Amino acid sequence: DSGVTQTPKHLITATGQRVTLRCSPRSGDLSVYWYQQSLDQGLQFLIQYYNGEERAKGNILERFSAQQFPDLHSELNLSSLELGDSALYFCASSVEGGVRTDTQYFGPGTRLTVL
């Protein structure tokens, strides 16, 4: 158990809908990352937050947004869902986020299926 929690574990929804994925980082970690794992794209970085502020952005679609709250939990919002958004979404956390030795610990993931 990495200490990172993600809810829900599974999510099935329809095209055009909006969903919210939730992540709680390990105790003491200030940085949260979101990754998407799909069969065709592999594991891709989406976005990083540090202590409530956006730090880095990757291949995140405009239909997707995220935020980190004062209690450091984070939410990833996916809207106008398409079939191609079906994937495993991981949240990871690390202590600082800006140090090269900083290890990212991953949550169990949320499997999103868009029908």
Sites of contact with other proteins (CB under 8 A): 2, 33, 35, 42-45, 48, 50, 55-56, 58, 88, 90, 92, 97-98, 100-109, 111
Least distance to other proteins, CB of residue 42, Å: 6
Residue 85 C-beta: closest distance to other proteins, Å: 17
Q: Rounded CA gap, 86 and 11, in Å?
A: 10
CB-based contact 73:23 (threshold 8 Å):
yes
Residue with smaller CB distance to other proteins, 2 or 15: 2
Q: What is the DSSP string of 24-93?
A: EPPTT--EEEEEEEETTTEEEEEEEEETTEEEEE-S--TTEEEEE-TTS-EEEEE-S--GGG-EEEEEEE
Measured from the CB atom, the residue of 25 and 97 that comes closer to other proteins is 97
Q: Evaluate whether 57 touches 76 at the Cβ level (below 8 Å).
A: no
- Smallest gap from Cβ 20 to other proteins, in A, equals 20
Q: Which is nearer to other proteins, 33 or 85 (CB)?
A: 33
Q: Which is nearer to other proteins, 82 or 96 (CB)?
A: 96
